[in-house]
Structure 1
């Protein structure tokens, strides 16, 4: 194994630094051994994971997380960061995250995502801030943004279509629910060059497509976070 996998602890998280020169299958085996050896130290802690040192596809990221959970008692709450400054931004995000102990509850992130920051979680998430252009939110369940969405959002990323994305200002660069993508429309401007007043909106699936509508009490009655 020879230092092909290095683990570093952060507040509420573990950074997994991987060798980018060895074959991928060999790396997976080394990760399994590393977390088996570290199990006595980490025990059943609830943590976020940051993967560093090697570019991985989304499929490979999920395979690595599977290896970690299969070879340890860790409760992996989410995968953090995809940008070049992953380690620094991971720390910044961790300082703002509040994880709920109840598995049926969602997670909260206090602050805005910008400059390529990203959050990935298996739970529903409520973001108390903006998701700016170039940033990315991935949730296996629902996403609620108490701010503006100009970046990317993917709800129901585990494959479920019965999920939604809510934002106080909805202008995503890309939006998906399950396997369905929303058809982004060019933003309209008035004759005086002003953007129309934004209203809170919800994106959800219906009859095999993603719809986006202004939020009403009647519409929300059909959704549960």
Structure 2
């Protein structure tokens, strides 16, 4: 009669970068620590011996507190050659869920942003008004201005390089997407791009195009811009 296979709460797999520790997310935390200690100190000494090894710990759908995470790290540190790169959980915290929700929302402002005023928004912003010279609008997402952009607009302010800045009248003091700043064009180029233009990143630099090119350059925005 075949013996029942004992479930492992800690599974260790090798990768090109090092080792991945898959920790079961259904057993008790105490059981998890007990098996982790046993494998670190006894049964798996052979594969855990040698030069420095990078470790990724995957928790699955288990949430651990800061103190519990520290307990896992302390056990792994008992072998001096194990370096914990990350401890990853598939659980989304309430704060993370709220941040993602805010980032997916488009906020609508129906006012003019005057000189000296600053507006910051998580997600996309649709402004039904003007951004005057001396004003600053910052968003983690895209900025759409159904009016004149004469001040400073900063889209993707947390690093999203796929964002755009679009305006009915594009005469900004400065436009910035992620960490890239565009020098304000002057002369004929400025006049050509002034009406119904948008700024975006192309080949690592900011470019400005007429609005009728938006569907070609950022087709995914079709659901927001008509």
Q: TM-score, normalised by structure 1?
A: 0.50
Q: TM-score, normalised by structure 2?
A: 0.49
Structure number with greater Rg is 2
Higher-RCO chain (CA-CA 8 Å, sequence separation at least 6): 1
